[in-house]
A and B are shown apart, each in its own frame.
Chain A
Amino acid sequence: MNGIHDLGGMHGFGPVNPEPNEPVFHHEWERRAFALNLAAGFLGRWNIDMGRYAREHMPPAEYLATTYYEHWLYGLERLLVEKNLVTAKELETRRSQGPGTLKALSPADVPKAVRNRRAARMDDRLAAARFKAGDRVRTKNLNPTGHTRLPRYARDKLGVIDRDHGVFIFADAHAASGEKVPQHCYAVRFEGRELWGADAGPRDAVFVDCFEPYLDPADGERA
């Protein structure tokens, strides 16, 4: 979706303000919001792409006025209701109307959950690669209302395949239905001037990880 989360290339945000010796969390509620997100995610009713898509629905003005863990909290509350783990009334009243049916992540299972080694990567034999390193490609002009990982600034742009990362779960379909559609994912190199025009630095490039359905061949096109 063309949401407010898709910030790449926007102006007017001012300087980056790094905080010296920044703590991991600034408030106790951030710790709890972070852990609640992970623990609820381990219930297995949604995947990471559904999680991102839920956060992308935050109203734009609210998104910009709130912090990272507030975005997470918004997405978590939305998913809990959407996936029927909590009713809208329970969320509103903050009172349980009855026990849940899923088993909570136990403290004993936390180390294993944290040391997860397989996420979106799939068996490379599940899909043939349409492109290889060095191939010229043009990203599609996509504006889906669903989840996508092709940022607006990189749509309908000419690039070159830098490398094939192998086969991964296609995020767009994963967010929509949970289906694990195998697709090659490529690092695609875009020259700064292709993305931003003549004012971009001549020796600047942006690499975007693109699922194969985002790409068309562009063999005949000139840079």
Chain B
Amino acid sequence: MSDHHHDHGHDHDGDHEHDDRPGPHGAPLTDIQLRVRALESLLVDKGLVDPKALDALIDAYETKVGPRNGARVVAKAWVDPAFKQRLLSDSTGAIAELGYIGRQGEDMVVLENTPKVHNVVVCTLCSCYPWPVLGLPPVWYKSGPYRARTVIDPRGVLREFGVQLADDVEVRVWDSTAELRYLVLPERPAGTEGMTEEQLADLVTRDSMIGVAQVKSPGR
């Protein structure tokens, strides 16, 4: 990461949004930008925060974790029945075998989708989400509509995401109200019989591991 936050007088960053300083036409900083910058400056002055640690934290969560991790877990479960067995019986341990451990993933539960059971994950009270395998949550997951509606109208929410479930499919909504973090193991799509683990991982989307999507067959 760049060190552009250490000198608030003339910082600059080349590759990100330019929203923390006056724009090319001299647009003023917004209140929230000023507030965050001032708070960081205060905490740095007091020796409570090291700006380089902030850079390292941002780098860790912006570039080192993400749904690619979860996709590897899913793909391995699809090709390795013994791993899948471990994944369902000791989710935290099996996920750790692939090196995915850490904050907001200390205690994992994997939920298997089948032709008769569809699992979907929400956090109605805040926005709990399994960071080591999926990264930080998207805005919609943290938003009022998703948190309010998923528990009372799961099929309506799923339809908005393009998932149409038959009436005989059971929908299980998991509200992450404690410190368990949930990952959905989606169904392996048809037409993937000859694919390698790596190719399969490329098919697995973030949304399918939250449970608001199904994994599509290749070429669809």
Is A204 part of the contact surface with B, judged by Cβ < 8 Å? yes
Decide: A16 near B149, CB < 8 A? Known: A24-B61, A165-B180. yes
**A40 CB contacts on chain B under 8 angstroms:** 43, 48-49
| Min C-beta distance of B166 to chain A, whole Å | 10
- A205 adjacent to B173 (CB under 8 Å): yes
The listed residue (A9, A100, A107, A195) touching B56 by CB distance below 8 A is: A107
| Min C-beta distance of B34 to chain A, whole Å | 9
Q: CB-CB contacts of B41-76 with A at 8 A, as 1s and 0s?
A: 111011111101111111011101010000000000
How many B residues face the partner with a CB closer than 8 A?
84
| Min C-beta distance of B30 to chain A, whole Å | 8
List residues 1-34 of chain B with CB under 8 A from any CB of chain A: 5, 13, 16-20, 32-33
- B144 adjacent to A64 (CB under 8 Å): yes
- B179 adjacent to A34 (CB under 8 Å): no
- B124 adjacent to A7 (CB under 8 Å): yes
- A116 adjacent to B157 (CB under 8 Å): no
List residues 98-133 of chain B with CB under 8 A from any CB of chain A: 101-103, 106-107, 109, 122, 124-127
The listed residue (A17, A35, A115) touching B102 by CB distance below 8 A is: A115
Is A198 part of the contact surface with B, judged by Cβ < 8 Å? no
Is B168 part of the contact surface with A, judged by Cβ < 8 Å? yes
Decide: A86 near B179, CB < 8 A? Known: A6-B125, A39-B49, A102-B48. no
Decide: A32 near B135, CB < 8 A? Known: A7-B124, A16-B149, A38-B57. no
Decide: A36 near B43, CB < 8 A? Known: A7-B144, A13-B144, A209-B180. yes
Q: Tally the A-B contacts, defined by beta carbons under 8 Å.
A: 282
- B151 adjacent to A9 (CB under 8 Å): yes
Residue of B nearest to A12 (CB): B148
CA A109 to CA B60, docked complex, whole Å: 12
- A28 adjacent to B179 (CB under 8 Å): no
Is A144 part of the contact surface with B, judged by Cβ < 8 Å? no
A38, A76, A114: residue with the most chain B Cβ atoms closer than 10 Å: A114
- A100 adjacent to B57 (CB under 8 Å): no
**B42 CB contacts on chain A under 8 angstroms:** 86, 90-91, 94-96
Decide: A185 near B180, CB < 8 A? Known: A114-B57, A207-B174. yes
- B103 adjacent to A114 (CB under 8 Å): yes
Is B198 part of the contact surface with A, judged by Cβ < 8 Å? no
The listed residue (A29, A107, A115) touching B53 by CB distance below 8 A is: A107
- B177 adjacent to A24 (CB under 8 Å): no
Q: CB-CB contacts of A76-113 with B at 8 A, as 1s and 0s?
A: 11001000011000110011101110101111011101
| Min C-beta distance of A121 to chain B, whole Å | 5
Residue of B nearest to A97 (CB): B46
| Min C-beta distance of B161 to chain A, whole Å | 7
CA A13 to CA B152, docked complex, whole Å: 13
| Min C-beta distance of B185 to chain A, whole Å | 16
The listed residue (B19, B47, B48) touching A28 by CB distance below 8 A is: B19
- A8 adjacent to B178 (CB under 8 Å): no
CA A112 to CA B161, docked complex, whole Å: 37
- B178 adjacent to A204 (CB under 8 Å): no
**A9 CB contacts on chain B under 8 angstroms:** 124, 148, 151-152
The listed residue (B5, B54, B161) touching A39 by CB distance below 8 A is: B54
Q: Can you report 9 residue pairs joining A to B where beta carbons are below 8 Å apart?
A: A8-B147, A13-B148, A25-B58, A40-B43, A86-B46, A105-B53, A168-B107, A204-B170, A206-B151
Which 5 residue pairs spanning A and B have beta carbons closest together?
A: A8-B124, A209-B178, A120-B179, A35-B54, A110-B56
B positions within 8 Å CB-CB of A: 5, 13, 16-20, 32-33, 35-43, 45-50, 52-58, 60-62, 64, 66, 96, 101-103, 106-107, 109, 122, 124-127, 135-136, 138-140, 142-152, 154-155, 157, 160-161, 167-180, 207
